[in-house]
Amino acid sequence: MTKLSRWLLAMLAVFSLVAASCGDDDESSGSDDAASDSSSADDSADAGVSGTLSMLSWDNEERMQPLLDGFAEMFPDVEIEFSHAPPVDTYVERLTLLAGVDDLPDVFNVTIPITRMAREGLVADLSDLDGVKALSPAHTGAFAYDGGVYSYSPTTWIGGIFYNIDLFEDNGIALPTTVDEYIAVIEEFNALGLQGLAFEGGSLFDEAVFHYNATIHQSDPDAQSLIYTGETTFAENFQPSIEWVQEELIDSGIFQEEFLGYGYEDRLQCFAVDMTCAMMKDGSWGYSGLAEYTDLNLGWMEMPNSGSLGAVSPGWSMSSTPDNEAAANAWFEYLSSDAGLATYQAIGDSFMGVEMDYEVADVMAPARAAIEAGNFNLPTIFWGNEAALTFGVLFPGMQELVSGSTTPAELAALLDETNAELIPNN
């Protein structure tokens, strides 16, 4: 269906996005001070916990060091046996190998979905931990299975719309709050000789996921997970969003074929330099770069009707048969303590899924509110084999709609055909 070169370009673009979403985020202010102020030992820590805690992390030791140091201060008699494998494929392969020989470490990182590991009894149910109970429903739900919660992650990334406040105010155009208003606002700016939304080659993928979040996910949030098991299909569950992209963006002329050759720099030029694009979709990590354009009166908003892309970050799980259960529980006690959360926030994603004091830039305050309300979703991570389905089929397939070399029904059918081969491994 696609040429190899186009597929590789799609993969490179996506892995850049994943790396950005999992990496350092500079948009918070004062977080280093918060971590420092909160790093003293917690009086509630059990100094009697001792022995060795085995750990597999997909962050390297340098990045993890602040957390390791904070844990050592709270539990000085526990020695950490630290190991690292880089995300994503190498880490998953390492974890799968260890699980296969029944040699999982006491604690380790996992990604969504947790279904298979929980079903096979490889991970412990953490739902009774106080730290897990303090998380938002979106954060516990991301790693839930059959009534239990099998991983702890207090951090989140989110993608929404950066917008030019002056262009909206000067032209008397209100921010969109519904899917229909979103299209209408783009058309209003286009009619003025401006560009309503800055596009690039991969934008249609984002638009399909936005529409899914804003419509189908709102009425049936569990439907995305049913694709993983084959209980529903892409034709039933995702094709309406592909059809929306075809009709409202491609057939209408809003998305032009020339945009297929555009990249991030082209969007940045239009939005932040020329300031002729009213809106630009990006992840929360894009704020620090956009803030450097001081002439740009920058705002951020959720995608209409709670359609923002975003996901709970990789979490920490415990082996169902840990060698040192007391030390493993101590790790979760530290991570969910004031000191641990402050350090977590300082070195990782700036947005937290638990109530705590930390600062973000004023522009990004709506992003924080959206996360705390659980107004984000990334259905692709609930589909099982994300790379094969999303970036091998959906990502390039959305681009091929523009040239007319595929149709929404054909693309959905190919997704289902590919998924049918993957379901036995889920």
pLDDT-above-90 percentage for the chain:
69
Label residues 226-260 b or e (16+ Cβ within 10 Å = b).
bbbeeebbbbebbbbbbbbbbebbbeeebbeeebb
215 and 254 share a domain?
A: yes
Query: Residue 163 is part of a domain; what is its CATH number?
Result: 3.40.190.10
258 and 216 share a domain?
A: yes
246 and 212 share a domain?
A: yes
Tell me if 369 is assigned to some domain.
no
Residue whose structure tokens are 């889920």: 426
Stretch 215-222: mean pLDDT, rounded?
Answer: 92
DSSP state of 321: S
Which of 329, 359, 389 marks a domain boundary?
359
Residue 42's pLDDT band, with cuts at 50, 70 and 90, is: very low
Nearest Cα to Cα of residue 315 among 90, 149, 204: 149
146 and 236 share a domain?
A: no
Q: How many CB atoms lie within 10 A of CB 98?
A: 18
pLDDT score, position 111: 87
318 and 381 share a domain?
A: no
Tally of domains in the chain? 2
Residue 356's pLDDT band, with cuts at 50, 70 and 90, is: confident
Tell me if 368 is assigned to some domain.
no
pLDDT score, position 308: 95
Tell me if 323 is assigned to some domain.
yes
Pairwise CA distance, residues 293 & 272, whole Å: 6
pLDDT score, position 8: 31
Residue 357's pLDDT band, with cuts at 50, 70 and 90, is: confident
Tell me if 365 is assigned to some domain.
no
| Helix, strand, coil percent content, the chain, rounded in steps of 5 | 50, 15, 35
Tell me if 366 is assigned to some domain.
no
Tell me if 406 is assigned to some domain.
yes
CA dihedral 119→144→126→134, nearest 10 degrees, is 180
Tell me if 367 is assigned to some domain.
no
pLDDT score, position 4: 28
Name the phi and psi angles at 25, rounded to 5. Answer: -125, 120
pLDDT in tens, 134-182: 998 888 988 999 999 999 999 888 999 999 999 999 999 999 999 999 9
Structural domain boundaries enclosing 392? 1-22+159-310+374-426
Q: Which residues pair with 159 in a beta bridge?
A: 283, 309
Residue 20's pLDDT band, with cuts at 50, 70 and 90, is: very low
pLDDT in tens, 229-246: 899 999 999 999 999 999
18 and 130 share a domain?
A: no
144 and 182 share a domain?
A: no
Q: Alpha carbon of 160 to those of 210, 315, 400, 421: distances in Å?
A: 9, 23, 25, 33
81 and 185 share a domain?
A: no
250 and 380 share a domain?
A: yes
pLDDT in tens, 54-73: 999 998 999 899 999 999 99
32 and 168 share a domain?
A: no
119 and 220 share a domain?
A: no
147 and 166 share a domain?
A: no
Phi-psi category of 76—alpha, beta or left, where left has phi over 0 and alpha has psi -120 to 50? alpha
Tell me if 364 is assigned to some domain.
no
